[in-house]
Structure 1
Amino acid sequence: MGKAWLGLVGGLAVILTGALLAWLVQTAGGVSVRDVRFAGDRGTTLAALVYMPASATAEHPAPAVLLSHGYINTREMQSAFAIELARRGFVVVAMDQPGHGYSDAIVGANDFGGPAALRYLKSLPQVDKANIGLAGHSLGGGPVVGAAASDPDGYRAAVLVGSTPAIGAVFGSKARADLRNLALVFGGYDEFAELMWQVPRGFEVPRSPAMQALFGTQAPIVPGRVYGDVAAGTARMLHVPPVTHPWEHFSAGGVAPTVDWFQRTLDGEARPRPAGDQIWFWKEVGTLIAFVGMAAVLLAVFEILLSVRWLHRLDRRPQALGPAAPRRDRRWWLFFAVTAALPAVTFFPLMKLGMLFLPMPLYPQWITNQLLVWALGGAALTLVIGLATKAPRLLAGADWPKSAAIALLTVAAGYLTLAVVAGVLHVDYRFWVVGLKPLDLRQFGFALAYLPLWTVFFVVALRNLHGWLAVAGEGRWSHYFAGMAAMSLGFAVLLAIQYGALFLTGRLAMAEPLNTIIAIQFVPLMALVGVISVFTWRRTGSHLPGALICALLLAWYVSAGTATHWSSNFQLPIPS
């Protein structure tokens, strides 16, 4: 068996190992996980994962919690809460908000899907209707308030994590509710402190006038103290763990207070445990292992396909590839600095400019539109810089039909592994804010529409990566390291500046909370782009196969993982 086939078998083994680990963690204690669809309001369909403990039956119904993720996230982002609640005996419904994941409609529709999701939760015979909780992270506060407003007596307690009861106004929701037995978890380093609670730093939330009004006091709130009365439904509690906004749903500091609050306020969980007894992180380790395995499968499949008769002509390894530089001299380092810095330097301004690329029928995802303005703007600047500096050009030609075929087959193989894992074990490939999900039919259409634009970006970016930075006689590992660094180092430095300032002063260096969090994904994603690009270049002498593979991956990744905004009555979201 050749090395490529060994790589394929090894990659599949890694996927299986990681996926089984993730499945074992999320089903610990006899919990079953189901992927469900149910009716939303106004003819829509919503999706959710249902975590059902073995102890919950129609004869012995259990307390239950409705969980909702934040903006441009999906239901899997709440798996830490779902796993810990379910293994304690709570039934959990982790919903996809409208316009996210596999729920249709658009962001914010029908009070963020909260009323319909609560009705679905209460329809389950294993649920104790007198002991229901609601919880949401960030924009997930929208479904919580929507559900509570639709059925004020239909739940007993609520938790808002990195959120506020007024969050729904960002997308025009008019739902209002005096939330019963409310706990708030807000990170001391939360990037959205000013937006959510009108204070400059998360640690100052206890002094927020809006927070004090919610607690019915004019004094600073004491974190960890219970205000009001649980029996009367007026209880309030605040926790301020030392975490950022995306850490709130990926840390013991965010999960423990949520679990503890529902154990205090809801009765009947089958297996009470200390709030600090948590195993969810191993599920994330498992899905990360599976993600790495899929990357290995992609590379192995590409290598195998090069041996196919029609595609074999792409393999140019025996030929001289005409490197652009004999060594790493001053000019090489200049081009390296430009390649690494340009995507990061232009990210915030071009993302802002991208807001003018409004959602429309063909391009309905507003965040994707903004990302493509950044990507295409960067590609244009790269071309201008190349012309102005008389940068070296690639000598190898580009075979579009064969490059497109090998790219499609390579990515299809990776997609097939994910489809099987998600269908059988209900896990995907992810770690923290990076998550790769199968596409539904609607998202597949979005990905096809966006694919040509991503292709333009990667063809330009990777053509210049190899035209500028290839070095004669370069060793394999130094080549990979240079490619990964060129593609991801700029984002790593940008985030170091942003979060260095946040941890030192309590504020980001640049007031771009949402785009800063979005940028976190691009460190590992662009590093993966660097690996794929160097791997394919070293075998074909062409930037094109790697560019097309990366365009397919990003079109898939972004279309499945962000939010849909366009509808026939689309309006700009203006906070009230």
Structure 2
Amino acid sequence: MSAKLYVPQTATEDSPAPGILALPGGNASLENMSSVAIELSRRGYVVMAVDPYTIGRSEIVNTPDVGSRAAMDYLMSMKFVDPHCIGAMGHSAGTGRAKWAVTTDPDCTVVREGVKAVFYLAAGNFNLEGVNMGVFIGSWDNTYGQGKISARDIATAEPFTEQMGASPIELGTWYDMGDGTSRILYTGNSGHPTALLLKEPILDMVDFFEQALAPAPIPAEGISYAAKEIGTAIGIIAVLIMMFPVLSLLLDTSFFSSIIRPMPAPVSGVNAPFLFYLIMPAIINTLICQWAIYNGQMFLGNFKSVLRINNTNGFVFWFGCSALLTVTILAIRFKWDGTINKERILTHAKTSWPNFFKALLLGLIAVGTVYVMTYAAEVFWGLSPRIWKVQINVLNNTRWGLFLTYFPLYLLFFGVFNFSQTIGLKIKGQSEAGFTRLVWLTSTIPAALFLIYAYGKLWMTGYTAITNVQMSRANSTLLNCILTYFITCKVTTFCYKKTGSYHTGAVINAIIMTWTAVATDLITAL
């Protein structure tokens, strides 16, 4: 099991510190717990964040607790951790993992000796007796089975009110359970994926453990994790930008010169209608997004002996639907536009096998440079890259095999997208900058519109457009889409301008997307 320790200097064998186990949710890696781990550790707590089995770099072990209890055993065995002053916290699905970690029986009802506090973030309810518990559900989140659809109603949700004996519950107030333990319910201006990034929920967690576990051994004010988030973002942007000078240098060599073609003219004498090529596909793609992401996971999950990353399956399925839509729209245009040069289209689509493999080699070297820099940053400086849930972690042996499984799928879809973007959207009289903006807009508008719809409804009505696991999956997938497309759209236009063909951009984008898809996500255990 892969783990990361945050140890304050005050924690020693002679003066052991309280210990807290941090468990990520869903398909997220241990790095998602870094913000709260930093804030707790700088206040004197030993924090251990883990990759549950099948996530990140941990092994694929099929156990109900995904290794949570073994992780807790390990934390409590450390000489500089006080085994009588232990806490745990989980985000989203990590709340269930935290429940396993702090209990000892198959039904998860008997709290292990030494555990004093458990905190659930963005999900869960007060489902343990004999231990201090806190729950935070953001005002932009859904309530995950508490009997309410709107997060604004959590103060009257029965699973909370019945145990506390109060309705409505006074948020942020401690409720004494009469057995030496207490309960507290928090809410704040955060959503599901942002609860581990924003100041309010993180400081609420700090406040909870300071009162429910033990006072902070080290006084500290404010936050410091924001510097890490900003620094990591700059680091990821910088390392990805390195692809472009590497590509330029390689394309100037004689070996790769054969893949360069003259920049082609537009395929049609007719300006493609803005409505037809931008707005209509975006609307259709937005409408199929909710259905495709969730059901794609269910459908492709039937092939789990091969397609073993659950969240990526939903993404791949949506990409497949989008590619089919793209082909349909191109077919309509080719039928409708009598000025299209059919020979020009065929020339644009074709490449030789030697040139295709050169494009593949070019992409492997360019993205490989980023990979080596990421590896070096981690090994020499301890950098663990993270922006939201987009991971560019170094791959282990298991994930290299999954990379080879998913790469052909992404290559097929990006072949369709890049062909469409470079030949279907390159309209008469359009500038290079205008082309770049159009490519990014057509790629990201569906995801952006869907998020605007989902959060717009939540803001106006207090009710989520999608509930429970579907909302979580759609959130993470679409945020991945928007963030990743900043770089993939630039790759498309950069490579098209440099080579006059779409093949190189398609290969590089497929490598990038496959890497980010398989680097961390939960692997289905057979």
Identical pairs, percent: 24
List per-residue Cα deviations over 1:145-164 (Å, max 9, x = no partner): 11221252131111111121
How far is 1:359 from its partner? 4.5
Any idea what SS the aligned residue of 1:128 has? strand
1:222 maps to 170
* Within-5 A mapping of 1:128-527: 128-150=82-104, 152-165=112-125, 177-178=128-129, 180-191=131-142, 193=143, 195-215=144-164, 217-228=165-176, 232-267=179-214, 269-274=216-221, 277-316=222-261, 319-324=262-267, 329=271, 331-354=273-296, 355-357=298-300, 358-390=302-334, 393=345, 395-396=347-348, 397-398=350-351, 399-472=355-428, 474-511=430-467, 512-518=470-476, 519-527=478-486
- State the distance in 1 between where 2:362 and 2:490 align: 17
The superposition leaves residues 61-97 of structure 1 with CA deviations (integer Å, 9 ceiling, x where unpaired) of 1111110111011111111100101111111100111
C-alpha contact (below 8 Å) 1:332/1:469 kept by paired residues? no
CA-CA distance at 1:531 after TM superposition: 0.9
Write the distance in 2 (CA, Å) between the matches of 1:483 and 1:351: 22
Secondary structure class of the residue paired with 2:119: strand
TM-score by length of 2: 0.90
Consecutive unaligned residues in structure 1, runs of 5 or more: 1-45, 167-175, 568-576
Distance 1:179 1:110 in 2: 23
Which runs of no fewer than 5 residues in structure 2 stay unpaired? 105-110
How far off is 1:449 after superposition? 0.7
For the residue of structure 1 that corresponds to 2:379, the secondary structure is: helix
Q: Give distance in 2, aligned partners of 1:349 and 1:266.
A: 43
Q: Is the 8 A contact 2:294 2:474 kept in 1?
A: no
Offset at residue 432 of structure 1 (A): 2.1
> Helix, strand or coil for the counterpart of 2:2?
strand
2:78 matched to 1:124? yes
SS in 2 for 1:236: strand
* C-alpha spacing 1:506/1:106, structure 2 compared with 1 (3 Å): farther
CA distance in 2, matches of 1:366, 1:179: 35
Match of 1:20 in 2: none
Give the 3-state SS of the residue equivalent to 1:438 in structure 2.
coil
How many residue pairs get aligned? The number is 503
User: In the alignment, which residue of structure 1 is the partner of 2:107?
Assistant: none
Q: Please say if residues 272 and 427 of structure 2, whose CA atoms lie closer than 8 Å, have aligned partners that are also in contact.
A: no
Could you tell me whether the CA contact under 8 Å between 2:132 and 2:182 is conserved in 1?
A: yes
Q: CA offsets per residue over residues 370-389 of structure 1, 9 Å max, x none?
A: 22222122212322332233
Contact 1:285 1:431 in 2 (8 A): no
TM-score computed with the length of structure 1 as normaliser: 0.83
8 Å CA contact 1:498–1:516 kept in 2: the answer is no
Q: Could you say if the C-alpha distance between residues 222 and 165 of structure 1 is closer, same or farther in structure 2, counting changes exceeding 3 Å?
A: closer
Q: In the alignment, is the contact (CA less than 8 A) between 1:157 and 1:181 conserved in 2? A: yes
Post-superposition offset of 1:472: 4.7
Q: CA shift at 1:197, angstroms?
A: 1.0
How far did residue 478 of structure 1 move?
2.3
Work out whether residues 106 and 564 of structure 1, in 8 Å CA contact, stay in contact via their aligned partners in 2. Answer: no
Kept after mapping to 1: 8 A contact 2:263/2:497: no
Q: Which residue of 2 aligns with 1:29?
A: none
Counterpart in 1 of 2:108?
Answer: none
SS in 1 for 2:134: strand
Kindly provide the amino acid, as one letter, of the partner of residue 361 in structure 1. Answer: S
* One-letter amino acid of the structure 2 residue matched with residue 405 of structure 1: L
Alignment root-mean-square deviation, CA = 2.1
